[in-house]
Amino acid sequence: MNKTFNTPKIKLAGDCAIIVDIGDSIHPEINSKVHDFCSTLENNKPTWVREIIPAYKGLLIYFNPLEIELSDLNLYINENYNKISKSATPNNKLIIIPTYYGGEFGPDLDNVINHTNLSKNEVIKTHSSVNYLVYAIGFSPGFPYLGGLPEKLNTPRLKNPRIKIPAGSVAIAETQTGIYPSATPGGWQIIGKTPLKLFDHNRNPPVLLNPGDKIKFEPIKSIKLYKTLEKEISLNKYKIETDEI
The single-letter code of the amino acid at 45 is K
The domains spanning 4-81 and 93-244 adopt the same CATH topology: no
The yes or no reply on domain 93-244 and CATH 2.40.100.10 is yes
For residue 42, the tally of other CB atoms under 10 A from its CB is: 11
Say whether pLDDT at 115 is over 60.
yes
- pLDDT tens for 50-86 read 999 998 899 999 999 999 998 999 999 999 998 886 5
Angstrom distance (rounded) from CA 109 to CA 134: 23
- pLDDT tens for 155-167 read 999 999 999 999 9
Q: What is the pLDDT of residue 205?
A: 86
Say whether pLDDT at 242 is over 90.
no
Any idea where the domains of the chain sit in the sequence? 4-81, 93-244
Fold of 4-81: Gyrase A; domain 2 (3.30.1360)
